[in-house]
Amino acid sequence: MTFTTALDWVRRHVDAGRLPTAVLGIATADGTVALDAFGGAKPEDRYPLFSITKPLVGIAAARVIERGLLTAQTPLTAAVPDFGAGRDDIVRLWHLASHTSGISEPPLDTATPLRDELLRQGRDFAAGTASRYSTLGFAGIAALIEHATGNAWEAEVATWAAEVGADGLSLDLAGTHPIVDAAAAGVDMERFAAQRNPGAGMAGRAGDLLRLGATLLRIGAGDDSGILRPATLAMMRRPLTGDIPRLEPYPAERGQDWGFTWNLRTRAPGLIDRDVYGHAGWAGTEFWVHPSAGVAWVLLTNRAIRDGVDIDELDNAIVSGR
C-alpha cells in the first residue's frame, strides 16, 4: 500500500487553499507507514485537536471503569450532586458518552466555567430518547473521573498517553497552528483555551494519534497488554444510539452512530468501509481506526470552514491503500 492517492488528495486541497496547512499520517498495528506535511507545516507540528479530545477522555473513563471505580450506569449526580434540579430523568455516564444526555449546549467559547454550565443549562430532551452532539457533556465525564479517582481528568489522560508514547498530548495550545478563520467562525480562541475543555481542549501531534491508533488496532486484534483490555475496547465500540432520533447538527444521513465516546460511522453512505470508529474536530482534524482494513489515520489541519472538502474521499483513498 503506497497511499499515494491519499497524500495527493491532501496536497491538492492545500494547494487550492481549501486547507491552509495539513499533516497526514497513516498507521498499521505495527506502527506508522506514512507521514507527510503540507503548506509549510512539519510532521511533528502540534495542532489543536478540538473534539478528538472526546475519545481521549473516553479512554481515561473506560480505564476507570476497568478499575471498578465507575460503571457506565453511574449517575452524574455522584460527582455533581446539584445537577438536574427540576429534571425527572437520570443522566448517567453512558448518556454523557453517547451524546444522549439531553443537556442543552452553550457556545464553544462560553466564558462561564463548564462545571457551572452543567448546572445552569436546561434540558433539551429526556436522557436516552434522542442524540444531539454535546461538548458540555464531557465536563460531566471529567467530573465523574475526578470524583472516582481523586485525580484531574487530564492527569488520567496523560497516564495512558505516556504508556503509548503520545507525550505531545496536552491542554497547552501555545505554539500550535492557529485556526485561520476562528473569529470568522464565531469562536474566541483565547477564551476557549482558558476553559481547558475536556470535550475539545487538547492539542497534539499526528505521531501521538498514530501511536494510539496502532495500539487500538492491536487491542482490537486481541492484544491484552495495551492501555485497554480488548473487552473494554469492544464495550466502547458498542452502539448506544440505536434507532433514536439524531438531531442537528449531526443528522442521521451522515451515518453518525455513537458508542462510548467513539463516533461509529456504521451508516455512512459515502464510505467504502463502515467498520470504522474515531472522531473529527471543529477545525478539520480527523482520527479514524479501520479494524477490518488494518489501518488508522490522522489528518491535522486548521480551518473551521472548509467548503469543497469531503473527508469521505480521503477515508476511501486510505482504505484502498492506493
Q: Which three cell numbers stand for residue 77?
A: 449526580
pLDDT at residue 1, rounded to an integer:
85
Q: Whole-structure pTM over 0.75, yes or no?
A: yes
pLDDT at residue 256, rounded to an integer:
81
The SS3 assignment for 138 reads helix
pLDDT at residue 250, rounded to an integer:
78
How much is the mean pLDDT over the chain? 97
- Reference 272, options 309, 318, 229; nearest CA is 318
End-to-end CA distance of the chain: 6
Low-confidence ranges of the chain (pLDDT < 50): none
* Residue found by looking up cell 467498520 in the block: 275
Residue pair 25/297 in contact by the 8 Å Cβ criterion: yes
pLDDT at residue 253, rounded to an integer:
67
Domain CATH code at residue 210? 3.40.710.10
pLDDT tens sequence across 122-163: 999 999 999 999 999 999 999 999 999 999 999 999 999 999
- Reference 125, options 258, 248, 262; nearest CA is 248
pLDDT at residue 254, rounded to an integer:
77
Count how many domains the chain has.
Answer: 1
Domain that includes residue 304, residue range:
4-320
Q: Which three cell numbers stand for residue 144?
A: 465523574
Q: Which three cell numbers stand for residue 228?
A: 485497554
pLDDT tens sequence across 256-281: 899 999 999 999 999 999 999 999 99
Helix (H) or strand (E) holding 179: none
DSSP state of 207: H
Side chain identity at 207, as an amino acid letter? G
Distance, in Å, from the CA atom of 44 to the CA atom of 41, rounded to the nearest integer, reads: 8
Residue pair 197/49 in contact by the 8 Å Cβ criterion: no
